[in-house]
Amino acid sequence: MPSLASMSQDTMHSQNAALSGGRLKQPHLASDHGIATSGIQLPQALPSLLARGLTPQDMLRVNAARPTFVTLEPGQSLYYQGDDCNNIYLLLDGWAFRHQILEDGRRQILDFALPGVVFGLPGTGIMTHSLETLTGCTFSVFTRERLFDLMRDVPALGFRLLEIMAAAEARAFEHLTSVGRRTAKERVAHLLLELVTRASQTPAMPRDGSMTLPLMLPHIADALGLTSETVCRALSSMRKDKIATLRGQKLDILDLKRLAHAAGVDLMADFRHGTNGETLRLAS
């Protein structure tokens, strides 16, 4: 139970969310009729995100399973920590994040979800975290049973999902290393680097050094195990050093090389394949 004092910063945003829409007891299931959001034709979007490694025939079968779609406004939650959830979700469009909250209000953001991310997988069914949108979002939904059937029909799908989960695990591990062993400034630099890299790999997102981050300082802080003040100081410092500027939601990378250096990362290695130059050499 957050003492009001400690809530004031860290949980500000979730308060907003709770006020401005918050929990959906029954998510808005848009069911089978195809819904278009922010200009995207969903039945087309799904393949492009999932399809690597699947044949066109496979994708036909996947679409034949008639996934349902959910659309959410910014600041709404798809599910909450503690919910009994037996669906698997694919984020088609928009930004969201997954987070855990301790009883006293401390919040940890676990992962930023960009289009193509899969979550809500099997397990016990009880969710250990919540998912909240940052922008308007569209999700594709499969029930556990439908997924199981689908995986039988389309073996490559299971393999692809494993790949996606493995990538998510790798992200979580990088994140963990950041929070556990990097300084505040390094963490901020590392997160910016991760986000620009992921965004640039997402279709229909910018490839140059400028982009829109639908985040507030407390999001970054809660992702990195810091306070928003510390994040602000780190960003100020990077602005002063002409490495990157983040004003409002506009992020400009001014010097990618030095950003990577500030993040304590070998750009070529870590953000292409995920490895550390130094350690790599030991392994050769």
Partner DNA sequence: CGTCCGATTGACAGCTATCAATAAGAGTGG
Partner DNA sequence: CCACTCTTATTGATAGCTGTCAATCGGACG
Residues of this chain that bind a copy of itself (CB under 8 A): 1, 23, 80-83, 98, 100-104, 106-108, 110-111, 121-124, 126-130, 147-148, 151-152, 155, 158-159, 161-163, 165-170, 172-177, 179-183, 222, 224-225, 264, 266, 269, 273-280, 282-283
Is residue 168 within the footprint of DNA (CB under 7 A)?
A: no
Among a copy of itself, DNA, none, what binds residue 273 when CB lies within 5 to 8 Å by partner kind?
A: a copy of itself
Name the minimum Å distance from CB 69 to a copy of itself: 22
Among DNA, a copy of itself, none, what binds residue 73 when CB lies within 5 to 8 Å by partner kind?
A: none
Q: 103 or 208, CB closer to a copy of itself? A: 103
Among a copy of itself, DNA, none, what binds residue 83 when CB lies within 5 to 8 Å by partner kind?
A: a copy of itself
49 neighbors 63 (Cβ within 8 angstroms): no
Report the amino acid identity of residue 146.
R
Site mask, DNA, residues 124-163, x = CB under 7 A? ----------------------------------------
Among DNA, a copy of itself, none, what binds residue 30 when CB lies within 5 to 8 Å by partner kind?
A: none
Is residue 228 within the footprint of DNA (CB under 7 A)?
A: yes
138 neighbors 42 (Cβ within 8 angstroms): yes
Identify the bridge partners of residue 246 per DSSP, sorted by sequence position.
Answer: 251
Helix (H) or strand (E) holding 141: strand 137-143
Q: 1 or 282, CB closer to DNA? A: 1
Helix (H) or strand (E) holding 130: strand 130-133
**CA 100 to chain CA mean position, Å:** 14
Which positions from 13 through 72 interact with DNA, judged by CB under 7 A? 13, 16
Token pair 């308060």 is found at 15
Which of 119, 218, 264, 265: binder of DNA (CB under 7 A)? 218
Nearest-5° Cα angle at 136, 51 to 197? 55
Neighbours of 271 (CB within 10 A): 21
Token pair 């979800």 is found at 113
| Separation CA 114–CA 97 (nearest Å) | 9
Identify the bridge partners of residue 103 per DSSP, sorted by sequence position.
Answer: none
Is residue 282 within the footprint of DNA (CB under 7 A)?
A: no
Is residue 236 within the footprint of DNA (CB under 7 A)?
A: yes
Q: What is the 3-state secondary structure (H, E, C) of 80-128?
A: CCCCECCEEEEEEECCEEEEEECCCCCEEEEEEECCCCEECCCCCCECC
Residues that bind DNA (CB under 7 A): 1-2, 5-6, 9, 12-13, 16, 183-185, 216-218, 225-230, 232-233, 235-236, 247-248
